[in-house]
Amino acid sequence: GEDVEQSLFLSVREGDSSVINCTYTDSSSTYLYWYKQEPGAGLQLLTYIFSNMDMKQDQRLTVLLNKKDKHLSLRIADTQTGDSAIYFCAESMDSGGYQKVTFGTGTKLQVIP
Amino acid sequence: NAGVTQTPKFQVLKTGQSMTLQCAQDMNHEYMSWYRQDPGMGLRLIHYSVGAGITDQGEVPNGYNVSRSTTEDFPLRLLSAAPSQTSVYFCASSYSSRGAEAFFGQGTRLTVV
C-alpha cells in the first residue's frame, strides 16, 4: 500500500535554509506535492512536481525529487518566522480515473528569531 | 470569492448523536473530498465525489455518509457519533482530477464525549 513518511519536527534559525524531507513507497506516483498548514487553518498548496521531473524552483522554494530512492525534499531559502507551520508531503496516483492522494504525517517547522 | 466554506468551526457532540458537517464551494469545482486529520496520522480520506450525484468511499468511510446533490455542496453526516470520531475535519475541492491541487476549507474541530 501507499505510505508517505516525514519527520515530525524541524527547528531552524531565521535566515537559514530549511530542508524538509519525505519518503514515499509507491513508484507509480504521478504528482508529488507540498502543502503548508498554518495554525487553525486548512492546507494551502505550496508547490508540486510531476514525477518525471528532478527539480522545481519557485522563488524561495526548491523541490528535489529522487525517484530511485523515492525521496522528496522541500528547501526553503532564507527562512522567515512566517514560514513557521506544518508542512505536508503528498503523493497522488491514478485510481480508476481519480487521483488518489496520500498525505504524510506532516513536519512542524519552527523558525527561531 | 469565498473558496471552500465549512460550518461549523467547532462542535461538541455526545456519543450517539448525529450531525452534519457542511461544506460549500463557489469555484464550480467538480471534485470534492472530506478528510480527517488526527495527530501523527496526516490526513485520511473519508469520502470523495467526482461530480453531482457521484460519491465514493475513501480510506476511512465507516460511520460517515455523504451525498452530492449539487456541484456546490458536499455535506458529511455522522450517523451515530463515537469518541473515535473526535478529529479535525477538512473539506477540499479541486478543479481537476489531480486531486491534490485542492483548495481546503478552514476545518471543523469535532469533539465527541
B21-54 confidence digits (pLDDT tens): 999 999 999 889 999 999 878 889 999 998 999 9
On the 0-12 / 13-18 / 19+ scale of CB atoms within 10 A, A56 is middle
Share the mean pLDDT of chain A: 89
**Considering only alpha carbons, which residue of chain B is nearest residue A46?**
B101
- Quick check: A64 and A58 in contact, CB under 8 A? no
What pLDDT is attached to residue A109? 97
Residues A10-30: what's their mean pLDDT? Answer: 91
Residues of B in contact with A40 (CB under 8 A): 106-107
Q: Is B81 left (phi over 0), alpha (psi -120 to 50) or beta?
A: beta
Q: How many CB pairs under 8 A join A and B?
A: 64
Question: What pairs with residue A45 in β-bridges?
Answer: A35
Task: Share the mean pLDDT of chain B.
Answer: 91
Assign B11 a pLDDT band (cuts: 50, 70, 90): very high
C-alpha distances out from residue A52 to A8, A67, A74, B101, Å? 27, 8, 17, 18
- Type of residue found at B45: L
Q: Does A42 touch chain B (CB under 8 A)?
A: yes
Cβ <8 Å between B98 and A30: yes
Tell me the chain B residues in contact with residue A100 when contact means C-beta distances shorter than 8 Å. 45, 99
Higher pLDDT, A4 or B100: A4
